[in-house]
Every structure is written in structure tokens, then in C-alpha cells.
Amino acid sequence: MSNNNDDHDDAEITPHEQQLPDRFVNPGLPAHQHRMADTDPKAAKRAERQVATLFTLSMAGTLLLLIAYFAVKLEYADLSFYEAANRLRLSNQLLGGGLAIALLGIGAGAVHWAKTLMPDEERVEYRHMQRGTDEERADAVSILQQGADESGIARRPLIRNTLIGAMALFPIPALVLLRDTGPMPGNKLSTTFWKTGMRIERDQPGGGALKASDLTIGSVVHVMPEGIEKTEHPLEERAKAAVLLIRLEEDLIAAEAEPGSYHGIVAYSKICTHVGCPVALYEQRTHHLLCPCHQSTFDVTQNCKVIFGPAKRPLPQLAITVDAEGYLVAKAPFSEAVGPSFWERG
């Protein structure tokens, strides 16, 4: 690079010459440096062959994809689990590999062509500022004024005001029309499927009622109220009614949880009081319940009080007892809303 455009700021200037500019001056574009392919026809030919090779590779990639599409069929009859998985993986890798080669061949070829063989002299284009000239601005203003005058909007305020009114009212239907997107919440957020005397069943296909003897000390069972699968909206009911049944040493149960427990067995809502994830992780040694979403931690021995994390309220307890046949049942429905907080919850 040479100082081709360099002007008056070199070392020859002495402080006695008082004509130094305040700031340095832009030296202008440096001289262009030629590439190999610009000066050496062999290099240019080589670049040409490289580009052509990349484009040819792309064609091969497309062929690979076509062959893979018809050769690897996604039919799994008589295949074991692992054979089936391998078949799918093979198909995915061959189709993807072929497509990738097809795409990368075109892309790399085009870029290589541009970088080696197309001219690389920088060009200069001049900008014009966004602002119009004073004349253009005056013209624009007068056009708008003339248009406004022609419309008569200033002279006829009745039209203007009624138009404003119409435009102000017209979007309201857009909001009103959304009213029927859902019913009013009513008390649905505060109630669950649990009713007094309802049997407690395992949360698994087929259910299965539980007796106190089914739970050893330290065990935890995910449970649902009996009959929840037969409701009209089982997912919505399950989203609220999920409960964890835990058996502790009887003396570990907090005094306020005692009346709702049965021989060391306590039942708590599984729906986190933070934003509603299932609080599914139970640490047997510490008796802590942990929510895997945001790590709110509840201490079962303190009536599921929050001991860590973003939740505020304890998990609501479901009071339980046994029925005449010895099956665990709900002693009463939940006495408060389960799950995340909401404004009207209080």
C-alpha cells in the first residue's frame, strides 16, 4: 500500500508551518491489489475448474437424495426396535446428506466464482441525504395543503368530526367479536374433581384403588380421583386434580396437616402454586417436593410450605381417610384453589 493520496501531514512538515489542518484528511482508496486469478491465466483456469467441480458435486448430491428416497423405504414391519431406529436414521442421514451436498455445492461454487473470477475492484457510489431540498419540502407541503383544501376537511368540521367518531367506534366490534373465544372462568379455577368419599386411584391406565397398606413408609404414589377418565374433559380435570400421596413416619407430619392425614399418609396437590407445572420430584431423605420447571421446593413435613424458589403458597392438602372397605378416599374436596395464583383467588 502506498501513500498515493497522502497530502500535507507527513513528517516533512515542521511545526513552524502553521498550516496544519485540525484533523487528518481521508487518504482515499488504497491501490487495488490483483488476485492470482487476475494475473495468472493458469490460476484463473484452476478456479474455473474448482467452481465447476463444486457445481458437479451438487448434482451428485441431488442424485444421492433421489436414490436414497427410493432405496430406503420407511417400512418397519418385521423390524426390531433398534433395526427400525437404524432404518429411520439411515434414511434421514442419506436424504439430508444428499440435500446438503446439493445445496452446499451450489452455494460454495457461486461464492468461489464471485471471489476468484468476478472483478474485485471496489466501486464508489455517492449517497444522497434523506432530507428533501427546501424546494421539495415546500412543494410537498403545498401539495398536501391543496389536497386537504380540495377535500374540504377544514371547511366542513361536521364531516371531520363524524369521521373521527366513526373511526373511533369501528374497532370496538373487533374486540367484542373475541368475546366468544371462551367461557367466563366462573369458579372453575377454584374447584377440582375431588369430592368427599371419592376413592383415590393410581394415576395409570386402568387406575386401581389404593389401601393404606399399599404404601410403605417413604413411598410416593401419583394419584387421581376415581372416575376422572370418564369425564367429558379428562385433560382439564387431570390438570387440576393430580395429587401426590406420600407416606411418612407419623411423627414427621406437621400438626396442622395431622387431621387430613391417615396413619402417616398425606395427600397434596401435585400442581405447583407458582405457574402450574406438576411438582413431580420427591426426595425421600429430606421429604422435599421439587418442581422441575422453576425449582420451587416444598417441605412435606411442614405441610408443604415453600422453602425455596419462586412459589409463594404451600401446596394445598387433600384431606384423606379410608372408606368402609379400607380404601383410601378423599375426606373432603380441596378447601382452596389448586395451582397457580390468579387475581380473584384472594
Partner 1 sequence: MTTTSTSPAAGVGNYLDERIGASKLTKTFARKIFPDHWSFMLGEIALYSFIILLLTGTFLTFFFIPSTGVTTYTGPYIPLQGQEVSEAFNSTMKLSFEVRGGLLLRQIHHWAALIFVVATIVHMFRIFFTGAFRKPRELNWMIGVTLALLAIIEGFLGYSLPDDLLSGNGLRIANGIVLAIPVVGSYVSFFLFGGEFPGEAFIPRIYTIHVLLIPGIMLALITFHLILVVVHKHTQYPGPGRTNDNVVGYPLFPIYTAKAGGFFFIVFGVTTVMAAFFTVNPIWLYGSYDPSPIGAGAQPDFYMGFLDGAVRLMPGFTEITAFGYTLSLNIAIAALVMPGIITTAAIAYPAIEAWATGDKREHHLLDRPRNVPTRTGLGMMALTFYVLLWISGGNDIIATHLHASINDITYSLRALVFILPPLVYVITKRICLGLQRKDREKVLHGRETGRVFRTEDGEVFELHAPLSAEDRWLLVQFENNYPVELEPATDASGVRRPHGLLDGMRQKLSRFYFEDRVEPVTPAELVAAQHHGHEELSASGGDKPAVTAGAGTSTH
For residues 287-306, which are near partner 1 according to CB under 8 A? 292-296, 306
Identify which of residues 103 and 143 has a Cβ nearer to partner 1 in the complex: 103
Residue 170 in contact with partner 1, rule: CB under 8 A? no
Identify which of residues 122 and 150 has a Cβ nearer to partner 1 in the complex: 122
For residues 313-342, which are near partner 1 according to CB under 8 A? 313, 339-342
CA–CA separation, 194 and 329 (whole Å): 10
Residue 57 in contact with partner 1, rule: CB under 8 A? no
Residue 132 in contact with partner 1, rule: CB under 8 A? no
CA–CA separation, 110 and 122 (whole Å): 19
* Contact letters for partner 1, residues 209-228 (x by CB under 8 A): -------------x-x----
Closest residue by Cα to residue 200 from 214, 187, 217, 216? 214
Are the beta carbons of 293 and 305 closer than 8 angstroms? no
- Using CB under 8 A, which of the segments 36-44, 96-104, 212-220, 252-260 binds partner 1? 96-104
As given in the structure block, the three cell numbers for residue 63 are 442424485
Q: What is the four-CA torsion angle of 140, 144, 149, 155, rounded to 10 degrees?
A: -130
* Number of residues binding to partner 1, judged by CB under 8 A: 109
For residues 29-48, which are near partner 1 according to CB under 8 A? 29-30
Nearest-approach distance from CB 149 to partner 1, in angstroms: 30
For residues 181-200, which are near partner 1 according to CB under 8 A? 181-185, 188-189
Residue 147 in contact with partner 1, rule: CB under 8 A? no
CA–CA separation, 207 and 198 (whole Å): 13
Give, as one character, the DSSP assignment of residue 202: E
Among 217, 308, 326, 335, binds partner 1 (CB under 8 A): 308
Spatial neighbors of 242 by CB under 8 A, at least 6 apart, are: 203, 222, 224, 269, 270, 271, 278
Are the beta carbons of 268 and 282 closer than 8 angstroms? no
Return the SS3 of 116: helix
Counting every residue written for the chain, the total comes to 346
Identify which of residues 54 and 328 has a Cβ nearer to partner 1 in the complex: 54
For residues 251-290, which are near partner 1 according to CB under 8 A? 270, 274-278, 280-281
